[in-house]
Structure 1
C-alpha cells in the first residue's frame, strides 16, 4: 500500500468519523430535548433513558443512515482534494484514475463488511434494548397502540387458530380467549375458551382461567369440560404467536430466517414486513460501496461553485437513496413489489448510474 493509498484512507475514515460524531451528537441533543417532556410524563428520569435507551438508539440511527454519512464524507474530502488540485497532481504523476480509486474501494469495502456484521448480528440486540422503552417517547395515541390492549388473532397452522378479544403484548395478558382446531374438512374438532389468560415466562406456557373445553367426536357427539385453571402450550411464545412489525428488528438473521420459515408454514400472508427487514440488512451495506463510487465520480472533478455545489448534489442524492428504502417498504408491504426487488431496487438503479459516471470520469 503506497503513500497515496494511506493518505486517502486516512482522509476517508477521518472525515467519516468526524461527520458521524458531529451528526450523532447534534441529533442526540435535538431528540433528547424533544422527547424529554414525554419521558418525564411517563414517570421516567431522563438519566434512565440516557443510559438504557439512547446508546442503542444511536446504533440504530447510525446504521439506518450509514449510506448518507459515507456519501457526504466522500463528497466532502474528495471535493477538497479536487479544489486543491491534489487529484490532478496524483494522476499527473502517472497513476491512472482506477489506481487512484483503489483506496476508496478498500475503505468502502471495510465499512460495508463492518456494517454487514452489525446489521445481521449486533443491531437486533440493540433493537431489543431500544424497543423496551421506545413506546414511552411517543405521544399517547401511538404509545397505546404499542403497549395498550387490542384484539389479536393467530394462525398456528392450517387447522389451528387463536383469538383473543383484548390482549396486552407488553404484559402478555388478555381476556376473551378462544382456541379452535379443525380437521382437514374444516370441521371443528376441538374448542377451548377461557375468560382470562397470561403467559408464564418461568414455565413457558399459557395459564387459562375459567376455561371451557369442547371436544367433537367422529359421531358428532360432544364432550364438555370446564374448570378454574388449565395450562397449555401452543408451540410458540406469545411474541411469535402475535408478532408485531418490530419483531423482525429484534432477531439475528439466523433467527429471522427460522421465524420466516415458521410463519410461512403457518400460512401467514403478512411476511413482507419481515422479508423487507431480511433483505435490507444486506442491501444497505452494499450501498456503501455503490455510493462511495458515485460520490467519487461526482466530486473528483473540479467544478464551478466548488465544495458547496458538490455537497448540495450529494446530500440530495443521498437522501433520495436512503428514503427510497422507506417508500419501497410501504410498496412491498402492500404486495405491489416482491420484497427482494423492493429492497435491492435503489442499488439496482444507483449502481449503473455510479458505473457510468465513474467510467466517464476515468476516461477524461
Structure 2
C-alpha cells in the first residue's frame, strides 16, 4: 500500500473514531441525565440501566447516525488538509484527483460493509434488549401506551379474524375475545367468544375462560358449545399474532423477510413500517460511500471561511439527509410512497449530486 493511502486512511479512521467516541459520550451523558428520574420511578437504578439498556441503545444510536458521522468526519479532516495545502501538494506531485480519492473509497467501502452486516444481523439482537427496557424510560402516558392494555385485532388469513377488547401485550392476557372464520363466500362458519384469554408459555397455547363456540354447517344448522376453559392454538405466539411496530427491529433480515411474507399471505395491508426497516438496513450503509465522496468534493478545495464554512455546509446537509429519511418513513407508512423508493430516495438524490460535484472537482 502506498504511503499516501496509509496517510489518508489513518486520518479517515482516526477522525471517524474520535467523532464516534465524542458523540457517544456527549449523547450518553445527556440522555442518562434526562431519563434518570423516570428510570428510578419505575423501580430501576441508573447503574442497572447503564449495563442492561445503554450498551444496546448506543449500538442503535451509532448505526442510525453512522453515515452522518462519516460525512462530518471526512469534511473535517479533508478541510484541514486543504487549509494546510496538503491536497495541493499531492496533486502537484503528479497524482490525479482520482488517485487521491482512492483511499477514501476503500475506507468508506470497508465501513459500509461492516455496517451492512451489523444492520442485518447484530442490530436486531441489540434492539431486542433495547426495546425491552425502553418503555421504562418514557413518561407515564407513553409507557402506558406500550405496557398498558388496549384493544387489538389481527387477521390470521384472508378468512380468519381475531378481536380483543382489552389486551395487555406484556402480561399476554386480555378480555373480550372473539375469533371469526369465514368461507370463500364470506359466510361465517365458525365463531369463538370468550370473556378472558391468556397465553400458556409452557404448552404454547391460548387458554380461554368462559367460552362460547358456534360452528355453522353447510345446511345452516349450528353446533353450539360452551364451557369454563378451552385450550386452543393459532400456530403463532402472541408476539407474532399481534405484532408491535417495533417487532421488525428485533428480527434479523431472513426472519424479517419471512415475517413480511407471512403477513402478506394473511392479508395484512399495514406492512410499510416493516418494509421501511428492511430496506433502510441496506440503504444506510450505501449512503456511507455516497456521503464520503460528497464530503470529499465539498471540502477538498480551500475556500473562504476555511474549516468553519465547510463544517457549516456539512452539518446543514447532514440535517437535510437525516430529516429526509425520517420524513420519508412517515410518507411511506401513510402509503403515499412505496417503501423501497422511500428508503432509497435520499441516496437517489445525493448520489448523482455527489457524482456531479466529484467530477467537477476532479476536472479543476
Paired residue secondary structure (1:206) = strand
Distance 1:228 1:52 in 2: 41
Which segment is superposed worse, 216-225 or 98-107?
216-225
2:334 counterpart residue number: 334
Give the Cα separation in 2 of the matches to 1:211 and 1:123. Answer: 42
Q: How does 1:92-241 map to 2 (within 5 A)?
A: 92-241=92-241
Map of 1:36 onto structure 2:
36
How far apart are the structure 1 equivalents of 2:105 and 2:198?
53
Please report the TM-score for the alignment, with normalisation by the length of structure 2: 0.99
Moved more, 218-227 or 127-136: 218-227
Distance across 2 between alignment mates of 1:210 and 1:49: 41
* Correspondence 1:81-92 to 2 at 5 A: 81-92=81-92
CA distance in structure 1 between the partners assigned to 2:202 and 2:103 by the alignment: 53
State the Cα distance separating 1:233 from its structure 2 match.
1.0
Give per-residue Cα distances to partners, 1:166-210, cap 9 Å, x unaligned: 001111111111111111111111111111111122221111111
Q: Take 1:232 and 1:92, find their aligned partners in 2: how far apart are those partners?
A: 77
Give 1:111 deviation, angstroms: 0.3
SS at 1:229's partner residue?
A: strand
Which residues of 2 match residues 51-90 of structure 1 at below 5 A? 51-90=51-90
Are 2:345 and 1:345 equivalent residues in the alignment? Answer: yes
Deviations 1:218-237, CA, capped at 9 Å, x for gaps: 11111111122111111221
Q: How far did 1:315 drift?
A: 0.8
Secondary structure in 2 matching 1:33: helix
User: Matched residues in 2 for 1:325 and 1:221: separation?
Assistant: 56
Alpha-carbon deviation of 1:108? 0.2
| 8 Å contact kept, 1:67–1:322 | no
Instruction: Tell me the distance in 2 between the aligned counterparts of 1:200 and 1:47.
Output: 33
SS of the residue 1:190 aligns to:
strand
Q: Secondary structure at the match of 1:102?
A: helix
Q: Hey, what's the Cα distance between the residues in 1 that align with 2:355 and 2:70?
A: 17
Q: Deviations over 1:134-180 (max 9, x none)?
A: 01111111111111100000000011110001001111111111111
Runs of 4+ in 1 over 3 A off after TM superposition: none
Q: Which residue of 2 aligns with 1:243?
A: 243
The CA deviation string for residues 52-84 of structure 1, in whole angstroms up to 9 with x for no partner, is: 000000000000001110000000000000011
Matches within 5 A, 1:18-37: 18-37=18-37
SS at match of 2:326: helix
Task: Return 86-95 or 199-208, whichever deviates more.
Answer: 199-208
Extract unaligned runs of 5+ from structure 1: none
TM-score by length of 1: 0.99
Q: Per the alignment, in what secondary structure is the counterpart of residue 5 of structure 1?
A: helix
Shift of 1:212: 1.2
Q: What number of residue pairs does the alignment pair up?
A: 364
- CA distance in structure 2 between the aligned counterparts of 1:106 and 1:202, rounded to whole angstroms: 51
Tell me how large the CA RMSD over aligned residues is. 0.7
Tell me how far apart the structure 2 counterparts of residues 233 and 182 of structure 1 sit (CA, whole Å). Answer: 18
Determine the C-alpha separation between the residues in 2 that align with 1:323 and 1:294: 18
Partner of 1:302, secondary structure, is coil
> 1:202 & 1:101 partners in 2: Cα distance?
59
Instruction: Verify the 8 A CA contact 1:294 1:354 in the aligned structure 2.
Output: yes
User: Secondary structure of the equivalent of 1:329?
Assistant: helix
